[in-house]
Amino acid sequence: MTPLHRNRMKRGALRRKARDISVVLVVLVCATVGIWTWDTSPTSAFLPPETRFLKLETEEEVKRIPTALNTESKKSYSSATPFVNKEETNEDSTDNKDTEEYEEKQVEGVNVSKTHQGMTSIIEEKRLEQVEHEVLVSEPNKTPTSEETKLKQVNHEVTASEDERTKTTHIEETHSDPERNEQFVAKKDDVSTSTARIPIQACNYAKGKWVVDNHRPLYSGSHCKQWLASMWACRLMQRTDFAFERLRWQPKDCSMEEFEGSKFLRRMQNKTLAFVGDSLGRQQFQSMMCMITGGKERLDVLDVGPEFGFVTPEGGGRPNGWAYRFPETNTTVLYHWSSTLCDIQPLNISDPLTEHAMHLDRPPAFLRQYLHKIDVLVMNTGHHWNRGKLNGNRWVMHLNGVPNTNKKLAALGNAKNFTIHSTVSWVSSQLPHHQGLKAFYRSLSPRHFVGGEWNTGGSCNNTTPMSIGKEVLQEESSDYSAGHAVKGTGVKLLDITALSHIRDEGHISRFSLTASKGVQDCLHWCLPGVPDTWNEILFAMM
């Protein structure tokens, strides 16, 4: 051992001794202070102020906690509520990439699914949540492989077809068609619809204005977790203005029966209400579930999806619908995903990348199969009629069972109009065979992108209600196609286009849970919100 070493050891020992002494000193001081303060202050003085980390109950706080907590709460509900689990996807979102990228994403997607089936870490959950807000390129309930493609497409939102856009912008335009006032009068020369004369609506609920009502909203957007997808619950987002939740639709010159969950259930005893359509139809469905329950958790409500063929596809993915039954009145409320309201069939079942026949002249298979079990039917379509979605889904228009060769019909606006007419007319023709069936076609839900599209910086920043207009006075629907399609049929028009058009502040806008920067959702609505009104009108018309 060299002297240098010995010296070092000595210094080390000294340092240790000094440290020991200081530790003893610190302990002594602390103990003294502790004993001294014991009498004068309670123990809580030593705890962090107001244990705020343990309480996260107010909406304000829940809202501020980002994805991790929301993910937790989502997880805890996911077994009871399929719509808040990972299959939750912004299905109106799409952008179609070239084939190569499409297939690459598909491969990735398979792994997403596998991950989810095993242990899921927070990071994975977050990723899935991201996926949740992304795209659906094709219809659900296909093979897992193509199903997962949808989940992986990292694009957002919708592009409406050309004609749709035009229609929305010209929404206040009135159409002077003398026939239109006789909307619910059977057409004399129409033999395809064997409906008797239908009484003229006493009240046109589409006319009226929005008024502030402190009895709104009908449920809490932060509490209706069992039925409301978090991606549509603006209370869980950064949004801070909620004046829009307090608006009630006041029809002109007539009163509208107040919605009450218990009244609804009693009226619907032993009955089934079915929403069939795209994601806006799904919003209306979730809104209805929240309205019936008042946003309260209902563990007694039964999941009866399998009775309507709604099962989670093998390998995960989203079922093509949900059905719930309220046992006290035996009332069923369901939603079936049918974005274009026509029949879609794979051309080669054994090929996961098969093209699909999109039968413009055939109603969705679901309706043909289950119409006899439905008492109130609400259909809609609209925003999926664009080239991007059709190509991405590999849908090929068919007519009379063969690929369509009619160039005029091939134009998307015409194809959509044709299909709406065709499906509405078919449902109407079925009414005489289904005692008590009430069928509604819900008109187009307007979109409000300003200064671009969903993928080109379009936005809907306005937060002041009724900036666009104060009331709706027009007699005719702003959705000309829908109004025309129901005319002379037994199907009623649930006309919500114009009244929703003046509520541009009610969209998700930039507040979504997971949207990428600069991407806004000016298509879907915050819930509670505008779709609640659609249901109030539906209830009044039922």
Ligand X SMILES: *[C@@H]1O[C@H](CO)[C@@H](O)[C@H](O)[C@H]1NC(C)=O
Q: Footprint of ligand X on residues 315-334 (CB under 6 A)?
A: 330
- Interface with ligand X includes 441 (CB under 6 A)? no
Which of these segments, 51-59, 237-245, 415-423, 530-538, binds ligand X (CB under 6 A)?
Answer: 415-423
Give the residue, chosen from 400, 461, 464, 516, that forms a contact with ligand X under the rule CB under 6 A: 461
Single-letter residue type at 155: N
| Residues 210 to 249 in contact with ligand X, rule: CB under 6 A | none
For residue 58, state whether it binds ligand X (rule: CB under 6 A).
no
10 Å Cβ neighbour count for 445?
27
Which among 3-11, 73-81, 86-94, 267-275 is the span making contact with ligand X, rule CB under 6 A?
A: 267-275
Out of 318, 398, 421, 492, name the contact with ligand X by CB under 6 A: 421
Sheet strands side by side (includes 376-379): 302-303, 321-326, 331-337, 272-277, 376-379, 438-442, 492-494
* Residue 89 to residue 276: CA distance in whole angstroms: 17
CB nearer to ligand X: give 228 or 374: 374
- Compute the distance between CA of residue 501 and CA of residue 523 in angstroms, rounded to an integer: 11
| Residues 56, 499: Cα–Cα separation, whole Å | 37
* Residue 269 interacts with ligand X (CB under 6 A): yes or no: yes
Give the torsion sign (CA, 507, 206, 445, 430): positive
Q: Does residue 437 bind ligand X (CB under 6 A)?
A: no
For ligand X, the binding residues in 151-170 under the rule CB under 6 A are: none
Three-state secondary structure of 416-446: HHHHHHHHHHHHHHHHHHCCCCEEEEECCCC
One residue of 107, 302, 311, 410 binding ligand X per CB under 6 A: 107
Token duo for residue 320:
């093509």
- Closest residue to ligand X, Cβ-based? 351
* Binding of residue 418 to ligand X (CB under 6 A): yes
Contact 497, 445 (CB under 8 A): yes
Asked if residue 417 binds ligand X (CB under 6 A), the reply is: yes
Select from 105, 442, 510, 524 the one that contacts ligand X (CB under 6 A).
510
Which of 432, 493, 523 lies closest to 158, judged by CA? 523
Question: Which string of x and - marks every residue 338-377 that binds ligand X (by CB under 6 A)?
Answer: ----------x-xx--------------------------
Least Å distance, CB 260 to ligand X, is 18
Specify the residue, 382 or 528, whose C-beta has the smaller distance to ligand X.
382
Q: Residue 247 is inside which H or E element, if any?
A: strand 247-251
Compute the least distance from the CB of residue 351 to ligand X, in Å.
3
C-alpha distances (whole Å) from 348 to each of 53, 265, 352, 355 are 55, 43, 8, 7
For ligand X, the closer of residues 268 and 390 by Cβ is 268
The only residue of 62, 69, 80, 110 in contact with ligand X, by rule CB under 6 A = 110
Binding-site residue total for ligand X (CB under 6 A)? Answer: 20
Strand blocks (E) in 278-394? 302-303, 321-326, 331-337, 343-346, 356-359, 376-379
CB nearer to ligand X: pick between 158 and 323: 323
Contact 96, 137 (CB under 8 A): yes
Q: Would you count residue 111 as binding ligand X (CB under 6 A)? A: yes
Structure-block tokens of residue 152: 């992986």
Kindly tell me which of 58 and 269 has the beta carbon lying closer to ligand X.
Answer: 269
Cβ neighbours, 10 Å, residue 34: 10
Contact residues for ligand X (CB under 6 A)? 107, 110-111, 269-272, 330, 348, 350-351, 414, 417-418, 421, 450-451, 459, 461, 510
